[in-house]
């Protein structure tokens, strides 16, 4: 049994080390705190020098406002800060730091020296931790903080550090996060006296390009929407850029990098209709909100926030991103760049047409969509004006009468700038459509493309509460389990809203009497069984409403054209035209690409033409 010990105040050094444990985990934690102090000081240029991955040394120098001589000792005192004065200021804090703990915490676990000079001072002043007074020193305007031998006096903490290379990688990641939020500030990074990064002052698109590279920018979709006191801006990637890991996700709330469950869930919800499997999208998003509407004082490292109206934030983010993603459809073919000039993907990259747009054009082009908060899918089409997907298009002269079969020997194709996906020239293995554009070749997965077209039409119709249905002249009867029959009876109303009428036809049978008009030519028995299976997984009518897109996706999959169906050129062109008019047409319902593009120079290169 432990002997009772009296309550005793902890000594100040131990208090500081305990506090440091909440803020300083590794060299990257030190770097983050020093960079945030430099940003708060108004720096426009910051230089970082690391040694041994930051374990041996971290030196951060800035050209900010500096610290007066008489305030240098206070800078190393716990809970001393220039950033807030009262609870009211804490509740509306706009600076990166505000607790006054960082420098004192660092000084308690490392050897720290701070040198600073204000604009009106004749020279700089330097103060070492544990020194009584600052001494005169040389140096320009701004502040330099030199941290050496991190955790030297705390061996138990130091042994948990990783290799120098690993710790250096974490430091670079911390720098990238802050650099993305402050493109107007230039950053230079040295490691073991070797230059590693040099990011000049720029705008946000250029900084994203500098830090994250051309791939994420080329695959990026522009986000910029404001509603009341909240604003969302930045870049999200197309679904086909999704990665196995969430390593390209940068969320900032009032320019502070955070991890927030509310916004993360909203992002996942926006991508749920287009993302394949468990893959993760990339994004750089800046959520600007009134400081009084968010609490930043909920985590020691300030890496989490709490919204006072989290539901409204979630709805705003989810709707905004959903509308941006809805615009992933074929664009004007004149915007497809030549691979030799813009680094378009090689034919084996399996990338979709978004990569055909030049990175610079993608970055600076204004948003081509309205990001208000209208109903999810906008105004639905008039059902009376719908035509069967494979109804031949009116004759335009682009395809001669002789080219009515998929393998016409000499189709006289005339491409048009008004048709981004070009004109069909052939069908390949009963699976793919080959189309010729003014600048190259497009290949379309006809089942995946048709599935997305039908799926979007179903969603529009359901939103309009006017889903056209077709009564079956000969009802489809199939064997069903007791569970399936019970599900059909329980969800009769919801199934009816989906355009599907199921009735018991006996103790072991179900009868399909009507289906959505768009799906009348599909496999009706498989359609009904799969919808019932999804209903069994959903479990209740409330969840059914929330999961209706999953049900519609199942219906669209079974109602779309199957592989090995031979199409005429008119039927192929009808599908291409509908793709150009359909939201999210770049991906099928499962997030896979529906079409790829090769420029003529890429094809020429394969055959070594001009070499």
Residue 295 lies in a domain: yes
Residue 5 lies in a domain: no
Q: How many CB atoms lie within 10 A of CB 581?
A: 12
Q: Looking at the structure, tell me whether residues 482 and 598 fall in a common domain.
A: no
Model confidence over 279-292: pLDDT tens digits?
Answer: 889 999 999 998 88
Q: Looking at the structure, tell me whether residues 287 and 396 fall in a common domain.
A: no
Q: 39, exposed or middle or buried, with CB in 10 Å at 0-12, 13-18, 19+?
A: buried
The answer, yes or no, to whether residue 588 has pLDDT greater than 70, is yes
The answer, yes or no, to whether residue 297 has pLDDT greater than 50, is yes
**Average pLDDT value for residue range 86-100:** 52
Model confidence over 247-270: pLDDT tens digits?
Answer: 899 999 999 899 888 898 889 888
Residue 582 lies in a domain: yes
Model confidence over 528-572: pLDDT tens digits?
Answer: 888 888 777 655 444 444 456 767 777 787 777 776 788 899 999
Phi–psi pair at 342, nearest 5 degrees: -125, 10
Q: Looking at the structure, tell me whether residues 321 and 177 fall in a common domain.
A: no
**CA atoms of 420 and 595, how far apart (whole Å):** 12
CATH code, 476: 3.30.1370.100
Q: Looking at the structure, tell me whether residues 56 and 177 fall in a common domain.
A: yes
Q: Looking at the structure, tell me whether residues 272 and 256 fall in a common domain.
A: yes
CATH code, 586: 3.30.1540.20
Q: With pLDDT > 90 as the criterion, what percentage of the chain qualifies? A: 41
Q: Looking at the structure, tell me whether residues 313 and 340 fall in a common domain.
A: no
H helix or E strand, kind and range, residue 610: none
Asked if 105 and 29 touch (Cβ cutoff 8 Å), the reply is: no
Mean predicted lDDT score pLDDT of the chain: 78
Q: Provide the 8-state DSSP code for 207.
A: H
Phi–psi pair at 115, nearest 5 degrees: -125, 130
Residue 462 lies in a domain: no
**CA atoms of 317 and 524, how far apart (whole Å):** 38
Report the DSSP pairing between strands 186-191 and 306-307. Answer: unpaired
Domain boundary among 515, 532, 552: 552
The answer, yes or no, to whether residue 354 has pLDDT greater than 70, is no
364 or 39: which leads in pLDDT? 39
* CA-based radius of gyration for the chain: 31
**Average pLDDT value for residue range 290-297:** 76
pLDDT class for 294, splitting at 50, 70, 90?
confident
**Average pLDDT value for residue range 400-411:** 37
pLDDT class for 301, splitting at 50, 70, 90?
low
Asked if 389 and 403 touch (Cβ cutoff 8 Å), the reply is: no
Q: Report pLDDT for 279.
A: 83
Q: Looking at the structure, tell me whether residues 31 and 72 fall in a common domain.
A: yes
Its domain, for residue 362, covers 335-450+564-606
**Average pLDDT value for residue range 589-609:** 88
CA nearest to 26, candidates 58, 48, 62, 49: 58
Cα-Cα-Cα-Cα dihedral sign, residues 557, 237, 463, 485: positive
pLDDT class for 414, splitting at 50, 70, 90?
low
Roughly how many angstroms between the first and final C-alpha of the chain, as a whole number? 86
Report the DSSP pairing between strands 432-436 and 509-516. Answer: unpaired
The answer, yes or no, to whether residue 193 has pLDDT greater than 60, is yes
Q: Provide the 8-state DSSP code for 69.
A: G
Among the residue ranges 488-492, 497-501, 543-547, the one predicted with the least confidence is: 543-547
Asked if 258 and 303 touch (Cβ cutoff 8 Å), the reply is: yes
CA nearest to 107, candidates 71, 77, 142: 77
CA nearest to 457, candidates 559, 569, 344: 559
Most confident of the ranges 288-297, 347-356, 442-451:
442-451
Q: Report pLDDT for 563.
A: 66
Among the residue ranges 166-170, 340-344, 411-415, 506-510, the one predicted with the least confidence is: 340-344
Residue 3 lies in a domain: no
Q: With pLDDT > 70 as the criterion, what percentage of the chain qualifies? A: 74
Q: Report pLDDT for 535.
A: 78
Q: Report pLDDT for 53.
A: 97
Residue 2 lies in a domain: no
CATH code, 322: 3.30.230.10
Residue 79 lies in a domain: yes
Q: Looking at the structure, tell me whether residues 381 and 394 fall in a common domain.
A: yes
The answer, yes or no, to whether residue 298 has pLDDT greater than 60, is no
Return the bridge partners of 59, or none.
49, 146
**CA atoms of 54 and 166, how far apart (whole Å):** 10
The answer, yes or no, to whether residue 130 has pLDDT greater than 90, is no
Q: What is the DSSP string of 380-392?
A: PP-GGG---TTSP
Q: Report pLDDT for 188.
A: 98
**CA atoms of 282 and 285, how far apart (whole Å):** 10
Model confidence over 103-113: pLDDT tens digits?
Answer: 888 988 899 99
**Average pLDDT value for residue range 329-343:** 45
pLDDT class for 22, splitting at 50, 70, 90?
low
Q: Looking at the structure, tell me whether residues 362 and 501 fall in a common domain.
A: no
Q: What is the DSSP string of 444-497?
A: EEHHHHHHHHHHHHHHHHHHTT---EEEEEEEEEEE--HHHHHHHHHTHHHHHH
Domain count, the chain: 4
**Average pLDDT value for residue range 439-466:** 85
Cα-Cα-Cα-Cα dihedral sign, residues 327, 328, 334, 339: positive
Q: Looking at the structure, tell me whether residues 160 and 23 fall in a common domain.
A: yes
Q: Looking at the structure, tell me whether residues 17 and 68 fall in a common domain.
A: yes
Q: Which residue is associated with the tokens 């919204």?
A: 307
Q: Tell me how far CA of residue 211 lies from CA of 40, 102, 179, 243, in angstroms.
A: 22, 26, 8, 18
């Amino acid at each position: 049994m432990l002997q009772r010990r009296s309550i005793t105040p902890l000594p100040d050094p131990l208090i500081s080390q305990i506090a440091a444990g909440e803020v300083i985990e590794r060299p990257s934690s030190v770097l983050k705190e020093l960079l945030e102090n430099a940003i708060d000081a108004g720096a426009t240029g910051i230089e970082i020098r690391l040694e041994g991955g930051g374990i041996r040394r971290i030196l951060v120098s800035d050209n900010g406002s500096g610290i007066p001589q008489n305030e240098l000792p206070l800078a190393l005192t716990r809970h001393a800060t220039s950033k807030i004065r009262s609870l009211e200021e804490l509740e509306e804090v706009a600076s990166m730091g505000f607790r006054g703990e960082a420098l004192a915490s660092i000084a308690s676990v490392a050897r720290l020296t701070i040198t600073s000079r204000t604009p009106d001072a004749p020279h700089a002043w330097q103060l070492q931790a544990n020194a009584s007074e600052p001494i005169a020193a040389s140096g320009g305007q701004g502040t330099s903080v030199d941290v050496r031998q991190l955790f030297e006096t705390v061996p138990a903490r130091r042994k948990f550090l990783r290799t120098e290379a690993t710790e250096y990688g974490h430091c670079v990641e911390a720098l990238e996060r802050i650099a993305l939020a402050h493109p107007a500030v230039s950053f230079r990074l040295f490691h073991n006296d070797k230059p590693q990064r040099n990011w000049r002052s720029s705008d946000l698109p250029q900084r994203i390009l500098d830090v994250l590279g051309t791939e994420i920018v080329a695959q990026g979709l522009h986000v910029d929407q404001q509603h009341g006191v909240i604003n969302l801006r930045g870049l999200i990637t197309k679904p086909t850029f999704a990665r196995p890991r969430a390593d390209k996700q940068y969320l900032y709330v009032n320019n502070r990098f955070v991890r927030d469950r509310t916004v993360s869930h909203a992002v996942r919800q926006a991508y749920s209709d287009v993302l394949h499997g468990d893959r993760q999208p990339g994004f750089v998003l800046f959520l600007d909100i009134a400081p009084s509407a968010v609490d930043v004082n909920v985590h020691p490292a300030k890496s989490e926030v709490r919204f006072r109206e989290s539901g409204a934030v979630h709805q705003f983010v989810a709707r905004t991103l959903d509308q941006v993603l809805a615009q992933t459809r074929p664009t004007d073919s004149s915007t497809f760049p030549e691979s030799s000039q813009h680094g378009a993907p090689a034919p084996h990259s399996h990338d979709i047409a978004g990569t055909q747009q030049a990175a610079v054009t993608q970055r600076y082009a204004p948003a081509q969509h309205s990001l208000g908060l209208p109903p999810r899918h906008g105004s639905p089409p008039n059902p009376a004006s719908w035509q069967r997907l494979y109804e031949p298009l009116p004759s335009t002269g682009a395809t001669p009468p002789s080219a009515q079969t998929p393998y016409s020997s000499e189709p006289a194709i005339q491409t048009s700038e008004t048709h981004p996906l070009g004109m069909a020239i052939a069908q390949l293995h009963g699976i793919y459509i080959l189309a010729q554009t003014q600048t190259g070749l497009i290949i379309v997965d006809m089942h995946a493309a048709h599935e997305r077209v039908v799926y979007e039409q179903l969603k529009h119709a359901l939103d309009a509460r006017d889903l056209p249905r077709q009564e079956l002249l000969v009802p489809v009867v199939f064997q069903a389990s007791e569970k399936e029959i019970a599900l059909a009876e329980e969800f009769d109303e919801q199934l009816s809203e989906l355009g599907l009428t199921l009735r018991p036809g006996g103790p072991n049978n179900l009868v399909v009497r009507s289906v959505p008009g768009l799906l009348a030519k599909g496999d009706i028995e498989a359609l009904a069984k799969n919808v019932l299976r999804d209903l069994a997984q959903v479990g209740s009518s409330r969840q059914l409403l929330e999961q209706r897109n999953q049900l519609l996706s199942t219906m669209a999959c079974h109602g779309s054209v199957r592989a090995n169906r031979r199409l005429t050129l008119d039927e192929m062109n009808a599908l291409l035209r509908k793709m150009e008019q359909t939201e999210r047409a770049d991906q099928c319902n499962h997030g896979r690409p529906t079409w790829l593009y090769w420029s003529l120079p890429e094809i020429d290169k394969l055959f070594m033409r001009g070499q």
